[in-house]
Structure 1
Amino acid sequence: MARFLIVTDEAGDWRPYLPSENMVLVNDYLDMGAYSDNGATQVINLCRSYDYLSSGYYCSLMAEARGHRVLPRVMTINDLSQDRFFSLPQTGLDKLPADTDVLAFKIYFGHCDIPALEKMCRKIFERFTVPVLDMKLQKVAGKWQIEKVEPFAYQDLSDSEQDSFAQYLEVFSQKVWRMPKPSKRYRYEMAMLVDEQEKMPPSDKGALKRFVKAANRIGMDLKLIGPNDMATLGEYDGLFIRSTTNISNFTYRFAKAAEKMGLVVMDDTESIMKCTNKVFLTELLNHNKVPMPKSMIVKASDPDWADNLIATIGLPVVLKVPDGAFSLGVVKVKTRESLLEQAEITFGHSALILAQEFLPTDFDWRIGILNRQPIFACRYYMSRGHWQIYQHHQSGRVSSGSFDTLDLKTVPKSVVDAALKAANLIGDGFYGVDLKEIDGKACIIEVNDNPSVDHGVEDLFLGDLLYDRIMTEFLRRIQLRGF
């Protein structure tokens, strides 16, 4: 468990608050070699000023040089001074009185005293992780815009504001440094991001438990965190995402925040961006001459798209929503009429649709790739009486076909080679490459940045060794970064 330090300019600055052994003066913290042992440390930089080359600026700079987790980071300070204009999350603003045109308030560790704006404040804090932010919003042409967003010195808070600051610091501190210590000390701490409300998560509870045990075996503590635990990221050395990723949901924000803090993240934001959009992925594979089904990107703005699609690919054809997962947003159409009908529905969600030729097979290959090496191979069979692995029924029930898990040595070389070629275009993370095999030739369907690992499925051949290999890769990367 990381120790924590509250760094301030003068001892008198902390007088309104409860005495703390964790409070240190910035001049002491800036001493050459001070607090630079190898222990994990979380620093809350509460200096009055973060201006360039000020003591507050150097505090964050020195913290990062020592491998400490610090809030705010130097990159955050630079962003505030150079790029103060960003898209304001509108969440909750519609609940404010209609006659309100100007709003001034403070954000304390992602919280504020306006209940309707709590979610918006968390998003702003994710963008600018500063202890206290001074915000001013103004309504222009019926839409709220940011007039001011600046760090605010906690030393200048009013009495009532001091109460809010202390309250939210306590909330933040409980998440960051007051968690119970594990019974056994581990050299490294890791977080595994899960969403207990997710109906089809990439790992079931059995697999999650085995990831934890695998981490423990090699000297790491792996804790499960959820969508509301972003404030705890500074406590960890690595982040393993085990919730379905998407650019528009919390998983991407967690990955982005963790990367800014210097954590080892799997999968990283670039992999999420490349894999979760099928249009991007198709263009990438096509540009690099990776074998895949006949494909066409259909544009809503093209009046002749239907004729061009039928002439290029033919019918039946498979239409895919660019950011769908687990067979969601994927439909097969057999006639021109159903093609137009389904496309109209999909165009309501996206300006582009991916169309691919229909290639019927009994099963799809899934090759798991980690750090540019294959680690498992599965065959997922189509759901009974259906053309996909997953069948989503109108009742909400989801059924799937059977599977088998094989020794990689028994997998056709063409399948493994094609999977590696596709995954290597994405990066060196953890990927699941889906392929079809037709007449001995492999054909890439997609690359998943957050592949399924369920107990009794993907681990059926390797058993615990699969979890050990994934956790060992995290350990290797953490050690390379010198945490």
Structure 2
Amino acid sequence: MSHFYVVVENLKDWQPYYPTPDVITFDDYLQRVKESSKKRIRVINLCRDYRYLKTGYYCSLLAEARNHHVLPSVTTINNLGNKSLSKLLLDNTQKAMSSLPKGEEGETKTFRCWFGKTSEKSTVKLAQLIFEKLPSPLLEITLTFKHQWQIKQIKPLALKALTDPAEQEAFAQAFEQFSLQLWRKPKARKQYRYDMAILTNPDDPLPPSDPQALAQFVKAAKSLGISTEFITKKDYVRLAEFDALFIRETTSVDHHTYKFAKKAEAEGLVVIDDPTSILRCTNKVYLADLLNNHKVPTPKTLILSHATESNLKELATEIGFPMVLKIPDGSFSRGVIKVKDEQELDVEAKRLLAESSLLLAQEYMYTEYDWRIGVFNNKPLYASRYYMVQGHWQIYNHGEGETESGNFDTLPTYEAPKKVIDVALKATKLIGDGFYGVDLKQSGDKVVVIEVNDNPSIDSGVEDLFLGEQLYLEIMKEILRRLEEQGK
């Protein structure tokens, strides 16, 4: 488990707050050079002065040199000291400022925020946006009204500047929310060995896990001494609070899920799905090329960049009809079209290429069902069969306003054909050691990989149909193994 330090210039600065041995002076932090390099350490730098070569600057500089995860970082300190760079980073705040009550020409307004929170109700959204771009424990923001509100100045604030009891209480509450471990009194919190964030999107129409499955993940984690908390995209700045990140939201590279995975990895968290797996799995062009180069069996696949007459004729000759066209980053059968002749190929290829610069053209293989083999750390966990929607050629049918899915069954992996398991494992070893769902088709002795999913569905009563609670426990056991391995 990681360790947490709050570094102050003088212990008197912390006097209004709950006493804890985690609060140390800068001089004390300076002497702790023999701290175990294998222990993940987080530092909240609350020194009085962040200016270049001052104590606060050196605190963050030393923290980064020691591979500690510090707030604010040296980059943030430098950005705060560069007025033009700060404004450049804050280009996206105009919408939040436009919602503020209109001011008088030349009027100025100053407010304070702590960990992105503020007591000024009108500036709540603005404070959060500024903290996301310039993450620093305490900031003072000055606005000026010139036809509209503009940011005049942003400066870091010393803890001792909070002399108003109301501000001190607000800071304490924000600190508690930002770091659940540090600020709760020992009798008020249950001790867990590790803390894990589960990233979800309550508005996702097709989430990777339903509420019942999520509840099972929580239950399994707690049985192993892992505390869990559901987070959403607005909690990006809180990632450093946790020891692990488990993404249960549909992933994409051009999406906040990838950003979360990258930040979590940089912070030293155990991450499922890791950013490399997201990158390799979510782009079907990359995946097709990877599988082909390593001779993993797939349907015949060609890449299309321009819908010229000669290119389309080549597809018709090489692949034949019917043919499947896919955009590189579709999910849940979205952006996947079956074409039956040259006329449909011409129309659909041009339509899809207007959305994406590359397309996959793939041989169509009809099967009654697709196999899905769940794999974690190169070990098969479950084997599901997803049947095609009645009267449709896919397991999902995205109709007007609703999505229909076919039937399913789930077997123990030892009952799945050995060749299906072997081909699935051959594919996942090319991606990494993460948690994957491999989609395959089987026709007689022929087994081919359709795709590898980095964020496979785990729904109650579907993928867990055979293993039940044990499936969730096995997944959490692997996450625990990685946490323990990281802490050695």
TM bracket, shorter-chain basis: 0.7 to 0.9
Q: Which residue of 2 aligns with 1:256?
A: 262
Tell me how far 1:341 sits from its aligned partner.
2.2
- CA shift at 1:232, angstroms? 3.1
Residue deviations 1:148-193, cap 9 Å, x none?
Answer: 999x542399999x99999677535424335798764221121111
Structure 2 partner of 1:407: 412
Match of 2:102 in 1: none
- How has the CA–CA distance of structure 1 residues 440 and 301 changed in structure 2, closer, same or farther, with 3 Å as cutoff? closer
Q: State the one-letter code of the partner of 1:452.
A: S
1:293/1:357 contact within 8 Å kept: yes
Provide TM-score, normalisation by structure 1.
0.80
Letter of the aligned partner of 1:397 in structure 2? E
Deviations 1:15-67 (A, max 9, x none): 9xx4453553211233338998x999753112356689975466457767999
SS class of match (2:233): coil
Mapping for residues 112-131 of structure 1, pairs under 5 Å: 118=125, 125-126=131-132, 129-131=135-137
- Cα distance in 1 for partners of 2:244, 2:178 equals 17
From 267, 286, 290, give the equivalent of 1:284.
290
- Is 1:451 the counterpart of 2:470? The answer is no
**Alpha-carbon offset, residue 479 of structure 1:** 0.6
Alpha-carbon distance in 2 for matches of 1:156, 1:259: 30
> 1:306-352 CA deviation, whole Å, 9 max, x = no partner?
22222221222111121111111111111222222222332232111
Q: Does 1:207 align with 2:210?
A: no
Letter in 1 for 2:432: G
- Structure 2 residue corresponding to 1:154, chosen from 140, 154, 157: 157
Match of residue 251 from structure 2: 245
Which of residues 182, 188, 198 in structure 1 aligns to 2:194?
188
> Aligned-pair distance for 1:454?
0.9
Post-superposition CA distance 1:95-129 (Å, at most 9, x none): 878xx9xxx9998645798979947x767755664
Q: Supply the distance in 2 between the matched residues of 1:303 and 1:134 (Cα, whole angstroms).
A: 61
Q: Are 1:21 and 2:19 matched, yes or no? A: yes
Structure 2 counterpart SS, 1:349: coil
* Letter aligned with residue 8 of structure 2: T
CA distance in 1 between counterparts of 2:207 and 2:300 reads: 30
For 2:356 and 2:418, locate their aligned partners in 1 and report how far apart those are by CA, in whole Å.
37
Amino acid at match of 1:230: Y
Contact 2:115 2:137 in 1 (8 A): yes
The 2-side partners of 1:397 and 1:71 are apart by 44
Q: Within the alignment, does 1:174 sit opposite 2:177 as a pair?
A: yes
Gaps of 5+ in 2: 99-104, 143-150
1:426 pairs with 2:431: yes
Which stretch of structure 1 is more off in the superposition, 127-136 or 330-339?
127-136
Give aligned-pair identity as a percent.
45
Q: What is the SS of the residue equivalent to 2:258?
A: helix
Matched, 1:439 2:441: no
Quote how far apart the aligned CAs of 1:200 are: 0.9
Residue of structure 2 aligned with 1:318, choices 321, 324, 328: 324
Alpha-carbon spacing, 1:126–1:92, altered in 2? closer, same or farther (3 Å): closer
Structure 1 residue 439, shift from structure 2 partner:
2.5
Q: Partners of 2:319 and 2:185 in 1: how far apart?
A: 59
SS in 1 for 2:466: coil
After superposition, residues 33-432 of structure 1 pair within 5 angstroms as 43-47=43-47, 56=56, 59-60=59-60, 70-72=70-72, 91-93=92-94, 109-110=115-116, 118=125, 125-126=131-132, 129-131=135-137, 152-155=155-158, 170-171=173-174, 173-177=176-180, 184-300=190-306, 304-394=310-400, 396-432=401-437
Partner of 1:139: none
CA contact (8 A) 1:28 1:34 kept: no
Taking the aligned partners of 2:238 and 2:175, their CA distance within structure 1 comes to 8
**Quick one: which amino acid aligns to residue 418 of structure 2?**
K
The 1:175/1:55 distance shift into structure 2, 3 A limit, reads closer
* Amino acid aligned to 1:71: L
Structure 1 residue 292 displacement after superposition: 0.6
- Alpha-carbon distance between aligned partners in 2 of 1:52 and 1:135, rounded to the nearest angstrom: 20
Gap change, CA 1:260 and 1:167, over 3 Å in 2 = farther
Alpha-carbon distance in structure 1 between the residues aligned to 2:458 and 2:308:
40
Instruction: Quote the Cα distance in structure 1 between the aligned partners of 2:350 and 2:45.
Output: 52
1: distance between equivalents of 2:309 and 2:42? Answer: 57
- CA separation of 1:33 and 1:87: change in aligned 2, threshold 3 A: closer
Mapped partners of 1:13, 1:473: distance in 2: 42
State whether structure 2 residue 467 is matched by structure 1 residue 469.
Answer: no
Aligned residue in 1 for 2:8: 8
Asked whether the equivalents of residues 244 and 450 of structure 1 are also in contact (C-alpha less than 8 Å), the reply is: yes
Deviates more, 1:297-306 or 1:435-444: 297-306
Deviation digits for residues 60-94 of structure 1 (CA, Å, limit 9, x no counterpart) = 5776799975423578779999xx79995854547
- Does the 8 Å CA contact 1:206/1:455 hold for their aligned counterparts? yes
Q: Measured at CA, do residues 449 and 122 of structure 1 come closer, stay the same or move farther in structure 2, by a change above 3 Å?
A: farther
Query: Unpaired segments of 5 or more residues in structure 1?
Result: 137-146
1:174 is paired with a residue whose SS is helix
Match of 2:146 in 1: none
Q: Which range moved further: 470-479 or 180-189? A: 180-189
User: Which residue in 2 is equivalent to 1:142?
Assistant: none
Report how many residues are paired.
464
Distance 1:57 1:429 in 2: 38
Where 1:253 maps in the other structure, the secondary structure is helix
